[in-house]
Amino acid sequence: MISSYLDLMRESPVHLTYTLDTEEPVELGDFVSQFVAIGNEFERFVKEQHKDLAADATFFVKEVRKGSTIVDMIPGMSIAAPFIANADQIMIVEDFVRRWGSRIMALVDDKTQGSPQTKSELKDFSKAMLAVARDPNASSTLEAATFEDGIRQVKVAFKFNTQQARAAEKVIEHRQNELEKPSQDPHERVLMVFTRSDVHAAAIGKPSGEKVLIEEISDKPLSLTYGSDLAERRLKHEIREADENVYKKGFIVDVHTKLSSGKPVAYAVTHVHDVIDIDPDA
């Protein structure tokens, strides 16, 4: 693996370096999610801007130390023509880092122009915010760098911090809610209780067999889905932390009701306002 890494670093005219600085340990899922997001956005960028290219990225964990993790990413690009000039590869990766930064800042500033718009884009950028947003004082840096005469030179860099990540998360959640198309008018601040929860397999983003009851809407328990990533993470966290006691908690939520033949069949939770203790036997 060492020789493979060194060979790739020597052969590649440009590489991406991702640095995550945190005060607290990072959940592995949050850490990995960032590279899924960066990889997806890199492929998306190349496909949109350079239609004659196909792109992928290979990831190497370069260094892990207390409070900081550095990962080198080797962007791979292939073309139908015999070769692509090194200068062109460098320019493409530099442009990608600029786009990465501009799209994140568009979310931070709640600007529509230049920001992620589709469900898949918003989901990727939500993943990219996770590790930084959950830490009290974190930062994330993405660099496009080259090696010239054995000297590493940073061509373009973008850095964002915890405060910016949290601002972006709020905008992402709002836009995901806007994209969620309800079958009827949404219900705000209703009391939801679990009647069946996927307590032991509640990984983020995985389907589950959760059932909930919202008496203001229906007297029958219905399937639970998620209208935003933040709502999903909050509820999954409560399920994991509460274990069996989740049935003694009530959730004040905003939901969209899914209909089939005019009857409610599922709820899509878009926002969790509060969690309260209840007595199911009262």
Same domain, 206 and 109: no
- The least confident of 6-10, 216-220, 256-260 is 6-10
Same domain, 109 and 50: yes
Tens of pLDDT, residue by residue over 225-259, are: 888 889 998 888 888 877 668 888 999 999 988 88
Confidence of residue 215 (pLDDT cuts 50, 70, 90): very high
- As a whole number, mean pLDDT of residues 172-197 equals 82
Same domain, 174 and 222: no
Residue 12: CB atoms within 10 A of its CB come to: 22
- As a whole number, mean pLDDT of residues 5-15 equals 69
**Tell me, what's the pLDDT at 124?**
95
Tens of pLDDT, residue by residue over 269-281, are: 999 999 999 876 6
Closest CA to 89 of 5, 6, 15, 4: 15
- As a whole number, mean pLDDT of residues 180-190 equals 74
- The least confident of 5-19, 57-71, 93-107, 179-193 is 57-71
Same domain, 211 and 171: no
- Does the pTM surpass 0.75? The reply is no
Q: How many domains does the chain have?
A: 2
- For 119, the domain range is 5-180
Confidence of residue 209 (pLDDT cuts 50, 70, 90): confident
Q: Which residues contact 190 (CB under 8 A, 6 or more apart)?
A: 214, 216, 217, 252, 253, 254, 255
**Tell me, what's the pLDDT at 188?**
94
Same domain, 193 and 249: yes
Share of the chain above pLDDT 90, in %: 44
**Tell me, what's the pLDDT at 10?**
63
- As a whole number, mean pLDDT of residues 207-212 equals 75
Same domain, 213 and 167: no
**Residue 262 maps to a domain:** yes
Same domain, 193 and 120: no
Same domain, 175 and 188: no
- In three-state secondary structure terms, 28 is helix
Q: Could you give the CA distance from residue 182 to residue 258 in angstroms, rounded to a whole number?
A: 7
**Tell me, what's the pLDDT at 4?**
60
Q: Of all helices (H) and strands (E), which one includes residue 78?
A: strand 68-79
Q: Which of 150, 180, 210 is the last residue of a domain?
A: 180
**Whether 172 contacts 125, CB under 8 Å:** yes
